[in-house]
Structure 1
């Protein structure tokens, strides 16, 4: 049997440090690199750490998923305002209901969850964007960890997500084929690691890169919110930013919004300016929430399969419990749903 002393010798630290890392001592001051080295060495030597204590021993994985914690990046009020994220969570919950798994939900707050709550669960599914410090803390206090609707860019971690950057490029190519010239964009800045990163959100990055490649980038057509959490993507934010674009001396002939909530706010602004959709200005968006097809006119939008993202997150967790030793990242395909708010180039 591998001992703590052997792990300490391999990493070059004291046995006491190894013990404190493997027992998640919050008072221990140690670099993230050294902490990760200890954990990875313990795993490589088959030491019984919290991450690998779930050996299947011939049991079906479903029997090992007895308790799941969902950690959400939104507050409850923000989730209620965005049906897409409700869909992601329902996908997780429906899959767990079939497995008869107990679920504990932890929504966003200024403090991290209680470590004991996570360590007591078979696994944790994290919904949405989290900072590097939060990801490291979650990984160190979780038996098995999966990210849903977020790709931490770490090959060791499991994640399932939709590539909204690729979807944005497809939208722009379609709009160009359809004859649209001045393409506006409404979205938000990225807010991670305690700082606002301007122009870093994936849809925004794709929009700017595409426009620059085609030598058509106009900063005036880019309207972004600085709000944090989910509030940046609400109806009132879409309305306010759309008003900014519509007040330009030369307004856009089509507006891309980062989600359908912002598109609804954009609809209101366009009507208040006395304009018609799509004759005077077109609108195209993301998520395909249920109300999108009932707007006037029905909204053209990218369908992101939120419930399937949630279901696959649970499946990834089951694979880990079955013994899969490597990280796995799954990209769920998106689908552009053409409706009457924008000309379909395939029908032109």
Structure 2
């Protein structure tokens, strides 16, 4: 970085004289030729005054930047479409996906990104916007037909919570198998003899089934599989389990929303949690800590998943040529429904 002293040495003047010339001090007594020489040398050495450096630094700070080395100029026009797999009503009833939306919208607002939300049921009506967006974020799990439809309209896709196109698209995920393995291991270590699972047919069920079979505590009648992640499905499944001659001693509810239904069914029959049946779940939605008893659950970082997807979008617009997957972590949150002491005995 060129300093006033460098210019003074080149022009045979003092640093104070150079400073006064560059600040256009009218009271300075100096020949016109000397003034021109100082300014010429300053230009040749690409001198920047402290004020200029500060202004340039502020301009750089205002440049749009993802959380990587990819950057965009601040005047870049940004146009993003987000497709949600759930209907508006389904999304509102699931805080996990609501949190993902909040993460997307907050990050878009921060960077002044033009955002259009739509749903898988409205793909045909939004064909024009899909085609002209710089990228499309797809939230949730889509049918093969919907995936193909979106891909035909726009090849710059970023999936959240699924990765159906593998290396053909970007994705933001958490490791379902690893998270489920840790959770089910806690169930096994608690000494459970009749663990139950309530959820749909995916990695969480597969991990539960495999690990409980390996430990000789698998009971097929205690696995309740549904296509829905909702309070009602949790309530109905738990009611069926309680109609059996032998109750489960632990219930793994695939999501906190399902767990709310499980609680309702258990408490309607005046069964005590966790004394008679323990309950453990995934997501850590805000309601989880306020249930009675508070719900032990695996925290997933849904808002951050939405933010990370927008960061991937910014990288794509900035010129990233390769596909990229972001894998977020998870954290066990121990509360009253399945106390940590259960696995430490």
Q: TM-score if structure 1 supplies the norm length? A: 0.75
Q: Secondary structure at the match of 1:79?
A: helix
Mapping for residues 33-72 of structure 1, pairs under 5 Å: 60=72, 63-64=75-76, 66-72=78-84
User: What residue in structure 1 maps to residue 94 of structure 2?
Assistant: 82
Q: Does the 8 Å CA contact 1:74/1:108 hold for their aligned counterparts?
A: yes
Cα distance in structure 2, aligned partners of 1:126 and 1:164: 18
Unaligned runs of 5+ residues in structure 1 are 1-57, 189-198, 227-231
Contact 1:245 1:252 in 2 (8 A): yes
Deviates more, 1:106-115 or 1:65-74: 106-115
Aligned equivalent of 2:236, options 218, 240, 264: 240
RMSD: 1.9
Contact preservation (8 Å) 1:150, 1:160: yes
Check conservation: 2:296, 2:338, Cα contact below 8 A. Answer: yes
Shift in alpha-carbon separation, 1:59–1:346, aligned structure 2, 3 A: closer
TM-score (norm 2): 0.75
Paired residue secondary structure (2:183): helix
Residues 269/182 of structure 1: CA separation in 2 closer, same or farther (3 Å cut): same
Which structure would you say has the larger Rg? Answer: 2
Partners of 2:162 and 2:155 in 1: CA distance: 19
Q: Deviation digits for residues 187-232 of structure 1, max 9, x if unmatched? A: 12xxxxxxxxxx3x12112212222333332110101124xxxxx1
Moved over 6 A (4+): none
Pick from 132, 136, 140: which aligns with 1:128?
140
1:136 deviation in Å? 2.6
In the alignment, what sits opposite 2:119?
Answer: 107
CA distance in 2, matches of 1:96, 1:110: 22
Offset of residue 274 of structure 1? 2.1
Contact persistence 1:61–1:319 (CA under 8 A):
no
1:281-292 paired onto structure 2 within 5 Å: 281-292=277-288
Mapped partners of 2:270, 2:315: distance in 1? 54
What is the CA-CA distance between 1:241 and the residue it aligns to?
Answer: 0.4
* Structure 1 residue 140: Cα displacement: 2.4
Residue of 264, 289, 303 corresponding to 2:299: 303
Q: Cα distance, 1:133 vs. partner?
A: 2.9
Query: Structure 2 unaligned runs (5+)?
Result: 1-69
Q: How many residues align?
A: 275
1:221 maps to: 222
